[in-house]
């Protein structure tokens, strides 16, 4: 059953941190999914930056059915279609790409485009979107910029991604305009390369504790 836009937005808020994954060793997808779930972070944005992303999405979904697995770095309608057939429950893109957004809306796939300027935010609002990726978050001024943008757009929630760490996560999540953060710090290339699943689980656990603390 397909999850609705509002349900995904609520789930993002609940989970608080969405791991951004670049995995080309498809055979590791199952262990990675299990490590994320056991670290209390049952979500993944599997980026199309790595070849085989569709198979990673399929594998994660088949072994961890309740996990929120979506596709990231979706740059074209063609990739959106591939993500959809792989079973992605949501689609994220780094920028605002109208053809990706329109395809997703037509197909009822929750979509989260990246928007960092008032112009981009207003374009997204015209499509009825209310949760937007904010990328690259730290380079674009982090929490300070989100605060400034939320003055004219109080109805918009952001998903800052890019430069998020265990150190700055709480600062982002404490802002009421932040729906969730995205980050790769718990799934860094070397951790996946060396199959450091305990380490992935522990970093997720630490992030999940920060989410709880920030949302208190
Ligand atoms: C993304 O694609 O969302 C980012 O590359 C993730 O950024 P990070 O690696 O700084 O967490």
Tell me the three state secondary structure of residue 132. Answer: strand
Provide, for the chain, the percentages of residues in helix, strand and coil under a 3-state DSSP scheme, each rounded to the nearest 5: 50, 15, 35
Q: Give distance in angstroms: CA of 180 to centre of ligand 1.
A: 14
What is the per-residue pLDDT for 2?
A: 74
Instruction: Kindly report the average pLDDT of the chain as a whole number.
Output: 97
Summarize pLDDT for 106-138 with one digit per residue, the tens.
999 999 999 999 999 999 999 999 999 999 999
Beta strands in 87-207 (DSSP E): 91-93, 111-113, 131-134, 157-160, 181-183
Write out the catalytic residue numbers. 45, 133
Tens digits of residue pLDDT in 170-199: 999 999 999 999 999 999 999 999 999 999
The pLDDT score that the predictor gives to residue 135 is 98
**Ligand 1 center–CA 8 separation, angstroms:** 20
- Nearest CA owner, ligand 1 atom 7: 162
Atom of ligand 1 nearest to the CA of 161: 3
Contact 35, 200 (CB under 8 A): yes
Give just the sign of the alpha carbon dihedral 63, 64, 66, 69.
negative
Tokens (6 digits) for 198: 């305990």
Asked if residue 135 has its Cβ within 6 Å of ligand 1, the reply is yes
pLDDT at 1: 59
161 lines ligand 1 (CB under 6 A): yes
Q: Tell me: the pLDDT tens digits for 21-39?
A: 999 999 999 999 999 999 9
* Mean pLDDT, rounded, for 151-178: 98
* Atom of ligand 1 at shortest range from CA of 163: 10
What is the enclosing helix (H) or strand (E) of 11? helix 5-15
Nearest CA to ligand 1 atom 3: 161
* Residue pLDDT, tens place only, 51-90: 999 999 999 999 988 899 999 999 999 999 999 999 999 9
| Alpha-carbon distances, residue 49 vs 21, 45, 53, 79, 107 (angstroms) | 9, 11, 8, 11, 23
Rounded to the nearest angstrom, the distance between the alpha carbon of 184 and the centre of ligand 1 is: 6
Q: How far is CA 196 from the centre of its chain?
A: 22
User: What pLDDT is attached to residue 58?
Assistant: 96
171 CA to centre of ligand 1 in angstroms:
17
pLDDT at 214 over 90: yes
Mean local confidence (pLDDT), 146-165: 98
- Which residue among 44, 132, 133, 162 is best mutated to probe the pocket of ligand 1, counting the most ligand atoms within 8 A of its Cβ? 162
């Amino acid at each position: 059953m397909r999850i609705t836009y509002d349900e995904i937005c609520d789930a993002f808020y609940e989970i608080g941190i969405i791991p951004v994954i670049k995995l080309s060793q498809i055979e590791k997808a199952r262990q990675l999914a299990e490590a994320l779930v056991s670290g209390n972070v049952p979500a993944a944005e599997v980026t199309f930056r790595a070849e085989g992303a569709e198979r990673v999405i399929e594998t994660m979904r088949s072994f961890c059915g309740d996990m929120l697995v979506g596709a990231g770095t979706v740059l074209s309608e063609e990739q959106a279609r591939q993500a959809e057939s792989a079973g992605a429950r949501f689609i994220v893109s780094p920028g605002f790409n109208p053809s990706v957004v329109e395809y997703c809306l037509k197909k009822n796939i929750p979509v989260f485009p990246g928007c960092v300027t008032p112009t981009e935010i207003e374009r997204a609002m015209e499509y009825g979107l209310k949760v937007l990726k904010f990328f690259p978050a730290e380079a674009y001024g982090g929490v300070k910029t989100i605060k400034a943008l939320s003055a004219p757009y109080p109805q918009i929630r952001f998903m800052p991604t890019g430069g998020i760490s265990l150190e700055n996560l709480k600062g982002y999540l404490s802002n009421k305009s932040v729906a969730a953060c995205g980050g790769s710090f718990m799934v860094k290339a070397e951790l996946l390369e060396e199959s450091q699943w305990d380490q992935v689980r522990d970093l997720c656990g630490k992030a999940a504790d920060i989410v709880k603390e920030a949302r208190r």
